Chain A
Amino acid sequence: MSGGLLQGRVALVTGGSRGLGRAICKVLAREGAAVAFNYVKSEKQAQDAVRELRESGTRAWAFAASVLDKSAIDAMVGTVEQEAGPIDVLVNNAGVGQVVPLALMEESDWDGMMDTHVKGAFLVTQSVLRGMIRLKRGRILNVSSLAGVKMLQAPVHYCAAKAALKGFTEGLAKEIGRYGITVNCIAPGILEEGVSANVPPANREEYLRHCALRRLGTVDEIAEVVAFLVSDRNGYMNGATVVVDGGV
């Protein structure tokens, strides 16, 4: 692969074994990046994903590590830096979906949602940031959701977690911009697969009624935008949230 948007870069994608994360890994690899990702449960899918990436000529690594396990994250980041070099790109994609109304929401539901999306992004970012500051460059992209930036019929804890990622993005962008590191956020609308698969049919129909393109998005369409956002071609965008929703 030569001449890609990410030629020679090293990317780490959290939650990269399936859904949107897997699509992102694939496009980043196509654009020339060496790609590492973590997963928690889907061992087989992770192996498939790594094989697929390697078959396309990309250096790829998969790590069984929770984004909530600090020591596992640090070990993962250390291994990637040792084997592939400094990490240039981090995509905080790991997430979970759970459709439950507030009235029935358990405290553990809330904590699980917030932990995976927000604390996970914090822990992984902190681990990767050390090298980026040393490098004086880097691209961090947080995967939020339209539910985090607009009023949608979506679970409250999911909306809150995704909105938190927007704040995380803006605060961090301000704090570390001086080191040439940009931090942005992407907010996809409802997609055909991934976490969006949990969206109840009524909500999906409501969404389609308001979407100018009259269809759901695909993970590949989001991954293409991600590849540009984390590339050197996107040098001056910082602290931004890019909504990709077909026009809602």
Chain B
Amino acid sequence: MDCVGCGEPKARPDKPHTFFAHEYVNCPGCGERGEARIVLRSGQVWELLRCARCGPVERLHHADAGAYVSSFLERGEAAVSAGGEHLFKRTTSVCPGCLRLLEVDVVIRAGKVYFRKSCPSCGPSEALVSEDARYYVRAYSFARAGTEPLHYSQEAEHGCPTDCGVCDEHEQHTCLPIIEVTDHCNLECPICIVNNQYSTHMSLDDFHSIIDGMVRREGTCESVALSGGEPTSHPQILELIRIAGRSEIGRVVVITNGLRLGRDRAFAEAIKESGAYIALQLDGFTADTHEKIRGRDLVADKDAALRVLKELNIPTQLVFVATRGANEHQIGQAVDLFLREDHILSLNFQPAAFTGFGGGKYPGDPMDRLTIPGVIQRVEEQTGGRLKKSDFFPLPCSHPQCVSLTYLMRLEDGSYLPFARFVDFTRFGTLLRSSATLPANAEIHEALHDVIHDVFARGGEIERGPEVLAALRGLLLQMFPDRPLTSREQVRIGEGRAKSIFLHHYMDRHDFDLERLRKCCHHYPQADGRVMPACGFNMFHRGAAKGPDTAVAQFARPAANGAGRSLPVVQGA
């Protein structure tokens, strides 16, 4: 599956296999135990192991991929139904105390999923991984082949995560590059997942080099995100946007807390003029929620930012860090705002990750936290069923445990209907993409035709069937006119017709899963040419997994400003 359509599918080939999971196996050469990639290839299941002694080794794991996947899912479903505690599988996580890599049990207990860890130095620990074990198990059925970049940054040598940057054993290309253009910020958020040092604004030369590198590796990108720190504190932010706005890049997104936008009208107008999109951090609507998550009352600042974004009709994405005990009761309000405003194109819920400068010290309980199913549950409860749990599906582009999403189609009367009400995503997985909107590419064209015929055939069984067909007709005619569209036009047209809600759960030292990192597609490009999967960078390279001054892994190569001491890493336990 070509997950983003940022570029021609033929230019970026699919992986020759579907990455399914990690599993501990013994090396067929030396017998040493290690974690292998389990991949589905040509109807069979293969182990791809990088043995410390023997190097890369392949071995047939199961002769029938379909039977293997069915058995895997049935095992999980049985564990959910049986009650009690059951071992579902094993994976690699880290000790929350010393950050040592550990082989851990993934157990299902009372309808939830936990990691059960045992660190030789720090002792046993547990962490909640999913509030809905059935969702967790079924998500594996959404595994799809990843896509390769045109060029990898480096070759695999020691294995994951040591070779991060990314190597050719990574299972997904860069769907969303997030470029941290500054480590300055005008807030000190208690939930901040990065590590602001107040030392560096990225130079134009470095930024040029990163953009050039992304285009060389990816061909084209649907989106490039500028982050920080607070990117609007970069003195040349408008110049950075201009540099990123080249034809190979569909949209430039500035991820911001919105303070400068709300206070500086001329700057907001310049952003509008630049054509950039705004991803506005908006985690609540009251003083107390802001204080808990962002450190102070931001109601007036957020209102000002929202007002100017609306007045100037700047395409906007909302980013809501959903945190247990802080703002979970305002999730529905965020959905209402998103559905009400035409210029708000997507809503991204991020269950809080306890990592980084602020988040690493945040007093969250790793056994009682929000995960993706928990946020979806609250969406349903707080929107009075306008959106339902069944509207959301795991995104197969990344690891299916990382992201869940729903697309909403605009009907002719201006209301929105979730695609899941008329699309069976288990059949039309192509429509599940990492993009906030649907681009007008050949892949989507084909998928839309399938959907149209399916809706047409099911007729009266579908909620608002005739309206859906009318909207699909409008979508098709507008997205695929009788003239070629530029990639930017494709993006814009898709935005006018469909919105999306994403739930993206970044990982921390409690729920880190190397298997998920393997297929990460949200990457931090570095000036030295590396492209770092986000959670691996946060965990091992930033030196902030437990707050500022956390030791970095011994293999880590932090960004230029990231100091830190080395941390011993043990593969397996």
Contact = CB atoms under 8 A, between A and B. Distances in A.
Interface of A: 129-131, 133-134, 175-176, 178-179
Contacts of B453: 133, 176, 179
Interface residues of B, number: 8
A205 to B, nearest CB: 47
B428 interface: no
Nearest to B449: A175
Contacts of A130: 456-457, 459
Contacts of A133: 453-454, 456-457
16 contacts: A129-B456, A129-B457, A130-B456, A130-B457, A130-B459, A131-B457, A133-B453, A133-B454, A133-B456, A133-B457, A134-B457, A134-B458, A175-B449, A176-B453, A178-B450, A179-B453
A239 B453 CA distance: 19
A72 to B, nearest CB: 18
Nearest to B459: A130
A176 B456 CA distance: 12
Nearest to B461: A134
B557 to A, nearest CB: 49
A32 B323 CA distance: 66
Secondary structure call for the B interface: helix
Q: Which 7 A-B pairs have the closest CB atoms?
A: A133-B457, A134-B457, A130-B457, A133-B453, A130-B459, A130-B456, A133-B456
Contacts of B450: 178
B356 to A, nearest CB: 48
Contacts of A129: 456-457
Interface in B427-468: 449-450, 453-454, 456-459
Interface string B365-390: 00000000000000000000000000
Nearest to B453: A133
Nearest to A130: B457
B428 to A, nearest CB: 13
Contacts of B457: 129-131, 133-134
Contacts of A134: 457-458
Contacts of B459: 130
B276 to A, nearest CB: 40
B344 to A, nearest CB: 36
A169 B453 CA distance: 18
Interface string B455-496: 011110000000000000000000000000000000000000
Nearest to A179: B453
A175 B456 CA distance: 14
Nearest to A134: B457
A179 B452 CA distance: 13
Contacts of B458: 134
B313 to A, nearest CB: 38
A176 B454 CA distance: 11
Contacts of A131: 457
Nearest to B454: A133
Nearest to B450: A178
Most chain A CB within 10 A, of B449, B453, B454, is at: B453
A178 B449 CA distance: 11
A179 B456 CA distance: 13
Given A131-B457, A133-B456, A175-B449, 13 more contacts: A129-B456, A129-B457, A130-B456, A130-B457, A130-B459, A133-B453, A133-B454, A133-B457, A134-B457, A134-B458, A176-B453, A178-B450, A179-B453
Interface string B101-127: 000000000000000000000000000
Most chain A CB within 10 A, of B450, B454, B457, B458, is at: B457
Contacts of A179: 453
A193 B450 CA distance: 42
B459 to A, nearest CB: 6
Interface in B246-301: none
A73 to B, nearest CB: 15
Nearest to A131: B457
A175 B448 CA distance: 13
A179 B454 CA distance: 10
A79 to B, nearest CB: 16
Contacts of B449: 175
B79 to A, nearest CB: 35
B455 to A, nearest CB: 10
Most chain B CB within 10 A, of A129, A130, A176, is at: A130
A130 B459 CA distance: 8
A175 B454 CA distance: 13
B472 to A, nearest CB: 15
A154 B454 CA distance: 41
Contacts of B454: 133
Contacts of A178: 450
Nearest to B458: A134
Nearest to A135: B457
A179 B458 CA distance: 14
A128 to B, nearest CB: 11
A129 B458 CA distance: 11
A179 B453 CA distance: 9
A178 B451 CA distance: 13
Contacts of B456: 129-130, 133
Contacts of A176: 453
Nearest to A178: B450
A125 to B, nearest CB: 12
A178 to B, nearest CB: 8
A158 to B, nearest CB: 30
B275 to A, nearest CB: 37
B468 to A, nearest CB: 14
B207 to A, nearest CB: 46
B451 to A, nearest CB: 12
A201 B458 CA distance: 51
A175 B453 CA distance: 10
Contacts of A175: 449
A178 B457 CA distance: 14
Interface string B132-158: 000000000000000000000000000
Nearest to B446: A178
B58 to A, nearest CB: 35
A178 B446 CA distance: 11
B392 to A, nearest CB: 26
A70 to B, nearest CB: 14
